[in-house]
Structure 1
Amino acid sequence: MGLVCRGYNLYSVLYICPSFVGFNLSAPFMVQPRCRGWTDRQKIQSLLATDPMVRAMSRTVLPMDWATLRRKSARQTGIHFLPGENGAPRQGLTIPVRGPSNSVWGLFIATSNESEICWAARRHELTIELAHVAHYVHKRACDIHGEGQTIDLSTITRREIEALSLVAEGKKPGEIAKLMRISNDTVKAHLDSARDKLHALNRVHAAAKALRAGLIS
């Protein structure tokens, strides 16, 4: 990320993903390089969690230029823009990224201290190039969290789906065994098999991925 800053002459870059298992808008997965602009992690998380722009960007696939958004939101309140030096407006670009399933989304944010005139002169080309960077970063993050592998849903059996649905309801293996009328070892075998097929980190993660894939409801 530091290379991205230097290569594109940016003030700072940030990647967040609140949709991985165990993360949310209040505490998203965050790639926060040790560079200027992102010194207060808790403050940034607080801004992101309460910013309506973040929620709006979670529902779109189009990059948003902060200068344009500032003009559109002049009559609105609650939208945060990380300030530049001496409180002056900072130029910025927020790029939404999705995949491998639609429910897994993240945001790539780049900021600059340029004037709006200088920013406008290179904004179009920069948006195209940073969109490629954003999708690469998101793919790598998905791979790390087990979201990027190809999953053949047809290999997951009906009994494995049934066991996963009970995990999603908060049931323990012993409870699942009674409800499915099978042994504890068989329950564990179903869950372990489903976990492997879904490339999940654990049984809860497997249930969450099954839910996202529409296998359980």
Structure 2
Amino acid sequence: MTDDAKHLPKWVKPALELGPIVAFFVAYLLVRDRSFTIGGREYDGFIVVTAGFIPLILICTGILWKLTGKLSKMQVVTAVLITIFGGLSVWLNDDRFFKMKPTLIYLLFGGALGVGLLRGESWLKLVMEEAVPLDDEGWMILTRRLCGFFFGLAVLNEVIWRTQSTDTWVYFKTFGLTAAIFVFFMTQGKLFQEHGTEKDSKGDGA
């Protein structure tokens, strides 16, 4: 982390990460019932908002990298998949590609964690060790749970976008997935208590 990143206001990072999602949601509500003719081709509001979301997420990701000097693998993969699948939706004028994007993201993350588990390793520890102090057993348990959770979210996203309206999917994408991840980590309190190492390290230094 750079010296400038250490002095950043705490709200900057969440604003850059969540701001584009909130902007997408608000913009969609404003134009969801409208259609736009661009270059002689008609696009509905969802496609137009998606077209605006792609450069916005790239700009915010770039600013975040400039300010902090680093990006997580999850942030990089997310930005790349948004660009690819969002671009396909706009190019082909088909919203299905953008709606598939969360499915692929969660399959990739779940699959990556699964590969690590098959090797007897917690690849989650490599990216979250600084934020969550756990012993090795705790990391393996959390990794198994999060692996299954990601696969579950992938299935859920497929069910929602294939069976529900675009409005329902947008609400689900904006609030449902965010709430699900928050609830998941909130329910891991017992794991953090039983396998946390912060208390032990403080005791060793006493």
Shorter-chain-normalised TM-score: which range?
Answer: under 0.3
* Bigger Rg, structure 1 or 2: 1
* TM-score computed with the length of structure 1 as normaliser: 0.25
Q: Which one has a larger percent helix, Structure 1 or Structure 2?
A: 2
Q: Which one has a larger percent strand, Structure 1 or Structure 2?
A: 1
